[in-house]
């Protein structure tokens, strides 16, 4: 038996401090004001349906170091402002400070009119037209692409189908092998009747997806973090940063039904990408066609895209210039942690500038 020794005076002191933090926290929560997201100046340069392509302004005093712009392709899950969530937590700002010219695709919020959109529409349609727009704006035949999570998988498919338009490819926390033993999300979806789900609900509600992701780590993501929140309630800046993350977590667009159907059935259930059997728009996606330089970045504690789900990439592409960068963090920490700001974006900028 463990002998707990609780001193009454220390216990009383803890309770008083806890009550003080709660009291101060209520005042800070009342005064928090609007929760802003997306901190870097940007200009919309192309629109199509609900998609908006943004170009970001380079900070004053930073000179261009790369004539080839980089296009960020985010996942259809959650919102892309994760990459620019606050002043001192911005992947986009970090890239700009390395002299990159940065563009980003914002997919918007699909509604029932988007139900029939397929992966062909997203990859050979929207992404291809954004790439064409950026190429034309800069007088180039090819650009750099940085794909994030599901957006990384889309970027891999795009590069395999349009290799002549991609100069360099960076993939971040991108699933490639969708059936690794430690992939809990994959295990959950293997036996789901996706056809019945999509035929019943149409577009997949973002709220349903969000709670699925949170349920992968129910104690830390739905309970413990709110207990820990008490320790930061007396700091107005930390309260606002916490709420900013909460806003992003629960800002979950619905997903177009047909795209969700194909992505889950072909990629998760059949593992068709790594098997060379995935088809987009009637064309087979051959990763061997990815011959440009590739930098594959993954998070060592990623519970959504475990390292084993992404590191096989190097053995399946045709590129002779393949690098990996392992980050000691999780799926979100790779964008918002202080270490990521100091180490990751400078490393991406250096890699791009060298090519």
**Catalytic center residues:** 149
Alpha carbon 287 to chain centroid, angstroms: 21
Q: Label residue 11 exposed, middle or buried (CB < 10 Å: 0-12, 13-18, 19+).
A: exposed
Q: What span, in angstroms and rounded, lies between the C-alpha atoms of 244 and 335?
A: 14
Token pair 């599901």 is at which residue?
Answer: 150
Q: What span, in angstroms and rounded, lies between the C-alpha atoms of 355 and 348?
A: 11
Residue 220 per-residue DSSP state: I
- Runs of H (alpha helix) within 162-306: 184-189, 194-201, 206-214, 218-219, 225-228, 236-249, 257-262, 272-275
Beta bridge partners of 204: 255
Q: What span, in angstroms and rounded, lies between the C-alpha atoms of 175 and 307?
A: 9
Q: What span, in angstroms and rounded, lies between the C-alpha atoms of 213 and 227?
A: 20
User: 310 and 296 in contact (C-beta within 8 Å)?
Assistant: yes
Element (H, E) at 324: strand 322-327
Alpha carbon 344 to chain centroid, angstroms: 14
Q: Label residue 102 exposed, middle or buried (CB < 10 Å: 0-12, 13-18, 19+).
A: buried
Structure token pair of residue 287: 């990763």
Q: Which candidate, 237, 227, 223, places its Cα nearest to that of 28?
A: 237
- What's the N-to-C CA distance of the chain in angstroms? 62
């Amino acid at each position: 038996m463990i002998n707990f020794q609780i001193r009454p005076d220390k216990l009383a002191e803890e309770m008083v401090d806890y009550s003080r933090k709660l009291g101060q926290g209520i005042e800070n929560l009342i005064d928090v004001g609007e929760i802003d997201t997306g901190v870097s100046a940007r200009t919309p340069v192309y629109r199509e349906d609900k998609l908006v392509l943004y170009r970001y302004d380079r900070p004053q005093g930073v000179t261009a170091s790369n004539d080839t712009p980089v296009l960020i392709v985010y996942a259809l899950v959650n919102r892309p402002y994760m990459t620019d969530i606050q002043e001192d937590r911005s992947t986009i700002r970090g890239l700009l400070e390395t002299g990159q010219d940065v563009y980003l695709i914002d997919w918007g919020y699909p509604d029932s009119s988007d139900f029939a959109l397929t992966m062909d529409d997203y990859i050979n349609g929207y992404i291809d037209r954004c790439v064409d727009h950026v190429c034309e704006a800069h007088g180039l035949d090819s650009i750099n692409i940085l794909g994030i999570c599901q957006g990384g998988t889309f970027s891999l498919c795009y590069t395999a189908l349009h290799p002549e338009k991609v100069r360099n490819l960076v993939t971040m926390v991108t699933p490639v092998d969708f059936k690794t033993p430690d992939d809990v999300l994959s295990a959950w979806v293997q036996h789901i009747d996706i056809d019945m789900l999509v035929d019943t609900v149409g577009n997949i509600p973002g709220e349903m997806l969000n709670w699925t992701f949170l349920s992968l780590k129910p104690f830390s993501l739905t309970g413990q973090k709110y207990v820990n929140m008490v320790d930061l309630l007396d700091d107005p800046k930390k309260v606002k940063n916490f709420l900013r993350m909460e806003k992003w977590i629960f800002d979950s667009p619905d997903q177009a039904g047909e795209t969700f159907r194909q992505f889950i059935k072909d990629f998760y259930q059949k593992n068709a990408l790594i098997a060379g059997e995935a088809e987009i728009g009637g064309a087979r996606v051959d990763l061997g066609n990815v011959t440009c330089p590739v930098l594959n970045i993954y998070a060592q504690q990623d519970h959504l895209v475990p390292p084993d789900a992404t590191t096989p990439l190097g053995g399946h592409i045709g590129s002779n210039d393949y690098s990996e960068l392992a980050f000691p963090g999780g799926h979100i920490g790779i964008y918002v942690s202080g270490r990521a700001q100091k180490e990751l974006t400078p490393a991406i900028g250096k890699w791009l500038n060298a090519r």
